[in-house]
Amino acid sequence: MEVTYLKAINQALHEEMARDENVFVMGKDVAELGGAFKVTEGLLAAFGEDRVIDTPISESLIIGAGVGAAVLGMHPVLEMQFADFISCGFDQIVNTAATLRYRHGGKASCPMVVRAPSGAGVHGALFHSQNPEAWFTRVPGLKVVAPATAYDAKGLLKSAIRDGNPVIYFEHKRLYRSIKEDLPEGEFTVAIGVAEIRRPGKDLSLITYGGTLHQSLDAARIVEQEDGLSVEVLDLRTLLPLDREAILDTARRTGKVLIVHEDRLTGGIGGEVAAIIAEHAFEHLDGPVRRLAALDTHVAFAPSMEEFILPNSNKIVRAIRELAAY
């Protein structure tokens, strides 16, 4: 049976809470309502109010309480109703959770997951459309993941819950019900820190993650059919730590690299990926490393303006053709 991206996350939560009684869920409307997007639906009935906890509208409270619970041996999964508001708990994440193991010489840990529904393309305007992953990808002590498939959504969340470190788990809202996949019946996880080639190719490498993976795959199919170009698509899946070897391998194999993400161009993780390639694979390149991302502006509410700001398959096709012709 096909499972949606949203249901895959829900399954992971059910399975991990059944596996380990120390796993609990906390956030705004996660209990009675089942979450604003219904990701936590059914958890309250299955595990009770002691393990599925509705909170006030305070991200700093949610994350701060989660850090305290994690220090005491619990495994909290904390929901930010929208990733945009993770900024309200920024101090607790980067100055408390991320530094805790280091500050205690490895003798303490903070095993918690912060679920962050992110991304645009859903007409959510500037406060409900952001992709704030780059705020966290430079912070030692954190792990940052961004699944783009139902399989990875489930497998990476299970790995994140079992990890001994704070993990920021970005789930793209546009994928919730638009992506479906047959999932294995048995137990499986997806390793954090390992990228995946979604489409092999020889002419050009397209490196992406999260909300732009499927647009990138669409673009790769179009240029193959219309231009005869063979485009390799690498899904990063994990943004911290980056799979440097996978990035360098694809760059060396094709000699041309296009990096695509929905986050804004300036300061986005694409700049770090480009720097890794420029520093360690320069002699293999046959063209400039190119980035395609959202414009450096806030996401507009009007659908036409939102479309103008964001990357899409047509923009990716144009960028592939321009780079291939270099």
Closest to 261 in 3D by CA, of 220, 302, 301, 316: 316
For the chain, residues classed under CATH 3.40.50.920 are 196-324
Evaluate if residue 1 carries a pLDDT over 90: no
| Alpha-helical runs (H) found in 48-99 | 59-71, 90-91
User: Could you tell me the pTM of the whole model?
Assistant: 0.96
The 10s digit of each residue's pLDDT in 65-118 is 999 999 999 999 999 999 999 999 999 999 999 999 999 999 999 999 999 999
Burial of 283 (0-12, 13-18, 19+ CB in 10 A): exposed
Residue 146's pLDDT is 98
196-324 placed in CATH 1.10.150.130: no
> Alpha-carbon distance 268 to 262, whole Å?
9
Across the chain, mean pLDDT equals 97
The 10s digit of each residue's pLDDT in 229-272 is 999 999 999 999 999 999 999 999 999 999 999 999 999 999 99
2-182 placed in CATH 3.30.460.10: no
Q: What is the set of active-site residues? A: 128
Burial of 221 (0-12, 13-18, 19+ CB in 10 A): middle
**Six token digits for residue 82:** 């929208």
The 10s digit of each residue's pLDDT in 212-230 is 999 999 999 999 999 999 9
> Alpha-carbon distance 232 to 216, whole Å?
10
For the chain, residues classed under CATH 3.40.50.970 are 2-182
> Alpha-carbon distance 212 to 138, whole Å?
21
